[in-house]
Structure 1
Amino acid sequence: MKSFRADYVFPVYADPIKNGIVTVNDQGRVIAVTDQNNPPDGPIEQLSGVICPGFVNTHCHIELSHLKDKIQPRGGLVDFIKDIQTFRDADNKQVTDAIQKADEEMYANGIVAVGDISNSNLSIPVKAASKLYYHTFVETFSFLPQNAEAIFNKAMELLSEFKPQSCSITPHAPYSVSKELFKLIRKHSDAEQNLISIHNQECEDENKFYRYKLGGFIELYKHFGIDISHFKPQARNSLQSIIPLLTNKQQVLLVHNTCTNLKDIYFIKRFDRKINWCFCPNANLYIENRLPKIQLFIDQGFNITLGTDSLASNSSLCILSEMRTVQKKFPSISTEKLIEWGTVNGAKFLGIDDEKGTLEPGKTPGLNLITGLDGLKITPETKVRRLI
């Protein structure tokens, strides 16, 4: 057994403990979390900083890791999508080597579980051998109604390749999935366990397209040769348009939410849907050079999580870095709250909070040490080190 004492221990399920002590066994299972007045038997390693559970990254694209530094930042989502398609194809070994390296980077950065988007089977071997827990979202694209069934069947085939790993079928985004394909995914989700993760309102053009059938997406469809004559403007934002198409049987993660407003949030509350939010602030700055209005989402009764997005849109795969970006822009959001978003909230969405997310006896959540804080505020010098 090993025991660690730090300036603070954040169990997450309970209040922070000053001069707290965490004891784990050789398998990383938490034996006890105590204060200095009730020390365990045996030696205790003294550390400076905050001990918290391992991080949960609810949104990543590990198979895009080979695109690091290949895409021009701050060009907007429409150009980003074009660049992804231009640079995506590469030698399989180059792609899988980058996937392996990204997996190791997340492990070193204290991440214990990942919700990962996949469009191919290239990440399967790395995930099978990884020390991290992965849930793979097999992503579907098709804005053409006539292609819905073929695309869905192809996704089901890929899903079977990922099994028995944890996996599900998911729509990519409102602008890339037809109503017919949404309905096929909902039917599947109503019948069996099928977590959903959707890119949501990453740019104003998405809302503009749904409201008025105007904006940058018109040029994007033209660029890819997609006939959108079937689509009629909805006179409301994309999120409000797709919420009725989603299952009410599964947890749904809405990712990015860069242009989500208070009316969208209130609209969701009128529906019986299990909505979770995921913020990937560094990717939002990389692509659109703007952040979501995160303060609008707090205290609205929804589960909030954090993600890194891919190395195509981020310099690193590090949840602490995402926390730093959020707190710099929104200093009223405490480190304690951000740790909650980056641990137990992600574990709850992925359905693994019986093992991950909190420092409770019997769990194997991983242990992170956060150092370089100013009081309990995150600074440019703040770092994370994996203890277990």
Structure 2
Amino acid sequence: MKSFRADYVFPIFADPIKNGIVTVDDQGKIISVTDHNTPPDGPVEKLSGIICPGFVNTHCHVELSHLKDKITPKGGLVKFIKDIQATRKADDKEISDAIQKADEEMYTNGIVAVGDVSNSNASIPVKTASKLYYHTFIETFGFLPQNAQAIFDKAMELMQEFKPQSCSITPHAPYSVSKELFKLIRKHSDAEPNLISIHNQECEDENKFYRYKLGGFIELYEHFGIDISHFKPQARNSLQSIIPLLTNKQQVLLVHNTCTNLKDIYFIKRFDRKINWCFCPNANLYIENRLPKIPLFIDQGFNITLGTDSLASNDSLCILSEMRTIQKKFPAISTAKLLEWATINGASFLGIDDEKGTLEPGKTPGLNLITGLDGLKITPESKVRKLV
């Protein structure tokens, strides 16, 4: 057994414990969480900082890790998509090595579980051998109605390659998935377990396209030679347009939400959909140089999680770095709240909260030590160290 004492222990399911002590066995299973007045038997390692569960990264693209530092930042989403498509091809070994390195980076940064988006089978070997828990979202693209069935069938074939790993089929984004493809995914999701994760409202052009059939996406479709004559403007934002097309049987993660507004949030409350939000602030700054209006989403009754996006749009795969960015912009959001988003909320969405997300006896959530705090506030000097 190992015991660790810190300035504060954040069990997440209960209030923080000042001078708390966490004891784990040699498999990382929580034996006890106590205060300093009831110390466990044996030696206790004294640490400065706070101890919390391992982090859950609900949105990543490890197969894009070889694109680190290759995409020019702050060019906007339309340019980002073009650059990704122009540069993502690479030698198989280069891609595989970058995935392995990304997996190790997340482990070092205290991440214990990942919701990862895949368009190929490139990440299967690394995920099979990884110390991290992965759920893979097999992502579908296809804005032409006539191609919907073929695209869905290809995604089903790729999903079989990932099994028995945890995986599901998901739409990429409102602007890249036809109504027909959305309906095929909903039919599949209504019939069997199938977690959903969608890129949502990353830029104003997405809403302009859905409202008026105007904006940068028109030029993007022309660039890729896609005929969008079938698409009619919806006179409302993209999120409001696709909510009726989503299943009400599965948890749905809406990722980024950079341009989601209060009307969008109120609109989805009218539907019986199991909506979760994921914020990836560093990627939003990298691509669009703006952040979502995160305070709008708090206390609205929805589950909020955190993600890193890919190394194509981020300098690192570190949940603490995402928390730092949020707290710098929105200092009223407490570290305790951010830790909930970074741990139990992500574990709940992925369906692994029986093992991860909180420091409770019997669980194996991982243990992180966060140092360099100002009181309980995250600072530029704050670092995370994996203890278990």
- TM-score, length-normalised on structure 2? 1.00
What amino acid is aligned across from residue 69 of structure 2 in structure 1? D
The one-letter amino acid paired with 1:9 is V
1:176 corresponding residue in structure 2: 176
How many residues are matched? Answer: 388
Alignment of 1:206 onto 2:206: yes
Residue 106 (str. 1) matches residue 106 (str. 2): yes
Q: Distance in 1 between matches of 2:379 and 2:3?
A: 27
For residues 180-224 of structure 1, give each alpha carbon's deviation from its aligned partner in whole angstroms, at most 9, with x where no partner exists.
000000000000000000000000000000000000000000000
Distance 1:179 1:384 in 2: 43
- 1:328 aligns with 328
Deviations 1:325-376 (CA, angstroms, capped at 9, x unpaired): 0000000000010010000000000000000000000000000000000000
Alignment of structure 1 residues 1-388 onto 2, 5 Å = 1-388=1-388
CA RMSD of aligned residues (A): 0.2
Cα shift readout 1:103-161 (whole Å, capped 9, x = no counterpart)? 00000000000000000000000000000000000000000000000000000000000
Partner SS, residue 51 of structure 2: strand
CA distance in 2, matches of 1:56, 1:196: 16
TM-score by length of 1: 1.00
Q: 1:212 & 1:302 partners in 2: Cα distance? A: 29
Deviations 1:266-310 (A, max 9, x none): 000000000000000000000000000000000000000000000
State the SS of the aligned residue for 1:23.
Answer: strand
Using the alignment, how far apart are the partners of 1:286 and 1:325 within structure 2?
12
- Alpha-carbon distance in 2 for matches of 1:214, 1:48: 54
CA offsets, 1:153-173, max 9 Å, x none? 000000000000000000000
Equivalent residue letter for 1:208: K
Q: Which runs of 4+ in 1 moved over 4 A?
A: none
Q: Give the residue type in structure 2 aligned to 1:197.
A: S
Corresponding letter in the other structure for 1:310? S
Amino acid in the other structure paired with 2:38: N
2: CA distance between counterparts of 1:361 and 1:262?
39
> What is the rounded CA distance, in whole Å, between the counterparts of 1:27 and 1:375 in structure 2?
32
Q: Distance in 1 between matches of 2:5 and 2:379?
A: 22
Q: Distance in 2 between matches of 1:129 and 1:80?
A: 31
Secondary structure, in 3 states, of the residue corresponding to 1:156? helix
2: distance between equivalents of 1:158 and 1:96?
17
Q: What is the Cα deviation at residue 177 of structure 1?
A: 0.1
1:59 Cα shift? 0.1
Write the distance in 1 (CA, Å) between the matches of 2:314 and 2:101. 15
Q: Which amino acid aligns with 2:317?
A: L
CA–CA separation in structure 2 for the residues paired with 1:31 and 1:180: 50
Where 2:275 maps in the other structure, the secondary structure is strand
Gaps of 5+ in 1: none
AA at the equivalent of 2:43:
P
CA displacement at 1:83 relative to structure 2: 0.1
Counterpart secondary structure, 1:175: helix
1:226 Cα offset (Å): 0.1
Unaligned runs of 5+ in 2: none
